[in-house]
């Protein structure tokens, strides 16, 4: 029988709790089962519009460099394997495997059929009302691998 | 991809979204569901190790979440407590001026964990800050009456 005390300050550790990917997956799955496909998309649009207001502002002001910086930051934190090609007019990201999908699957949880919308909807919504568009291709549900192509809309 | 470091705003928005769709009771239904499917690790640890399972679970999650806290375990008395000085979830929501924290945000911690611990024979007491600050206290105590948990926590 033991007695233990642990005290920590916020600065003692780095904020990185990958189990949140599992919770988000279940949130998406719950909306899907309870309300349907369109509701999942509606929720992700609402989330993007509120949380990503600063990123969207930066995208309008600084162009695709803002998205490049954003993705490099989160991919570095998540330990993702990816390639980026960037010009002023185009940004292509090849995510070789999604750290989110990897964590969910490796912990024995099933990926929601609409988990891919966290990529598609969020990026399309980020580009809405900006000079840019996004195309997601080659999404692999088992790994979350995909190619994101951001480009200038044609006038 | 939504990074796990962006989960809390997504979680907050999910509560607000579900309430907009079907009211507050639907949010609690979601919390109950999430407790059942997501907190299997807490359930397994406490089922296998008793009150020590609480220490095992929260010492990992709060370290990953970079929380500021003091955690105490007294196995002889069958007691576990957390004095949370800075909850990173609520704290980050309050600090982000683009996000409006869901008004009952902290209550998810009451519903999710109570639902796991009471059926395993523990009392669960969570005192949430009344001042909208990111602090709280949590106490878990062995009662020995497993199976009497509230499996239908509702508003």
The pLDDT value given to residue B129 = 83
CB-hemisphere CA count at 13 Å for A98? 27
Residue A155 has a pLDDT of 77
Residue B147: its pLDDT value, please? 58
Rounded to a whole number of angstroms, the CA Rg of chain A reads: 18
Give me the residues of chain B with pLDDT under 70, please: 145-155
In a domain, A84, yes or no: yes
Q: How many domains does chain A have?
A: 1
The answer to whether B86 faces chain A, any CB pair under 8 Å, is yes
A39 touches chain B (CB under 8 A): yes
Q: Which residues of B touch A35 (CB under 8 A)?
A: 21
> Buried b / exposed e across B14-26, counting CB within 10 Å, b at 16+?
bbbbbbeeeeeeb
3-class state of residue A90 by DSSP: strand
CA distance A85 to A87: 7
Does residue A12 fall inside a structural domain?
no
pLDDT of residue B114: 98
The CATH number fitting domain B4-142, selected from 3.90.70, 3.30.160, 1.10.287, 3.30.1380: 3.30.1380
ipTM summary value: 0.95
pLDDT score, position B1: 87
CB A126 within 8 A of CB A56: yes
Instruction: Give the residue numbers spanning the domain of A47.
Output: 17-152
Which strand ranges, in their side-by-side order, compose the sheet holding A3-8?
A3-8, B68-74, B79-86, B136-142, B122-128
**Chain B interface mutation, best of A5, A7, A8, A16, highest count of B Cβ atoms under 10 Å:** A8
Q: What is the pLDDT of residue B155?
A: 37
From the list A30, A53, A122, the residue facing B2 with the nearest CB is A122
Domain coordinates in residue numbering, chain B: 4-142
Question: Residue A27 maps to which CATH number?
Answer: 3.30.1380.20
**DSSP class of residue B129?**
-
Instruction: Give the count of Cβ contacts less than 8 A between chain A and B.
Output: 147
Written as tens digits, the pLDDT of chain A (155 aa) is: 789 999 999 999 999 999 999 999 999 999 999 999 999 999 999 999 999 999 999 999 999 999 999 999 999 999 999 999 999 899 999 999 999 999 999 999 999 999 999 999 999 999 999 999 999 999 999 999 999 999 999 87
B93 → chain A, closest CA residue? A51
A88 touches chain B (CB under 8 A): no
Is A1 a domain residue? no
Which of B38, B68, B88 is facing A26, going by the closest CB pair? B38
Choose the mutation target among A15, A29, A121 for the interface with B, i.e. most B CBs under 10 Å. Answer: A15
Q: What percent of chain A has pLDDT over 70?
A: 99
Whether A2 maps to a domain, the answer reads: no
Give the separation between CA A153 and CA A145, rounded to whole angstroms: 25
- B98 to chain A, any CB pair closer than 8 A? The answer is yes
């Amino acid at each position: 029988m033991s007695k233990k005390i642990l005290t920590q300050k916020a600065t003692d550790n780095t904020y990185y709790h990958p189990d949140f990917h599992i919770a988000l997956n279940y949130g998406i799955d719950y909306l899907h089962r309870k309300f349907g496909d369109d509701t999942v998309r509606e929720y992700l649009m609402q989330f993007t519009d509120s949380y990503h207001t600063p990123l969207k502002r930066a995208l309008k002001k600084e162009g695709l460099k803002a998205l490049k910086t954003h993705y490099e930051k989160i991919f570095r934190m998540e330990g993702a394997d990816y390639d980026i090609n960037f010009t002023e007019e185009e940004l292509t990201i090849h995510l070789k495997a999604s750290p989110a999908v990897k964590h969910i699957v490796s912990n024995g949880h099933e990926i929601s059929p609409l988990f891919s919308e966290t990529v598609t909807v969020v990026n399309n919504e980020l580009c809405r009302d900006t000079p840019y568009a996004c195309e997601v291709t080659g999404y692999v549900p088992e790994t979350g691998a995909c190619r994101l192509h951001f480009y200038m809309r044609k006038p | 991809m939504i990074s796990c470091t962006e989960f809390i705003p997504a979680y907050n928005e999910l509560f607000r979204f579900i309430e907009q769709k079907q009211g507050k009771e639907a949010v609690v239904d979601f919390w109950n569901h999430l407790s059942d499917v997501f907190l299997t690790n807490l359930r397994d640890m406490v089922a296998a190790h008793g009150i020590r399972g609480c220490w095992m679970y929260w010492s990992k999650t709060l370290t990953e979440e970079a929380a500021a806290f003091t955690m105490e375990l007294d196995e002889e008395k069958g007691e576990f407590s957390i004095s949370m000085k800075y909850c990173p979830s609520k704290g980050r929501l309050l600090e982000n001026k683009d996000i409006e924290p869901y008004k009952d945000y902290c209550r998810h911690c009451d519903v999710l964990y109570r639902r796991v611990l009471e059926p395993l024979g523990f009392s669960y007491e969570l005192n949430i800050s009344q001042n909208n600050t990111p602090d709280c206290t949590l106490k878990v105590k062995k009662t020995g009456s497993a199976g009497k948990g509230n499996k239908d926590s509702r508003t």
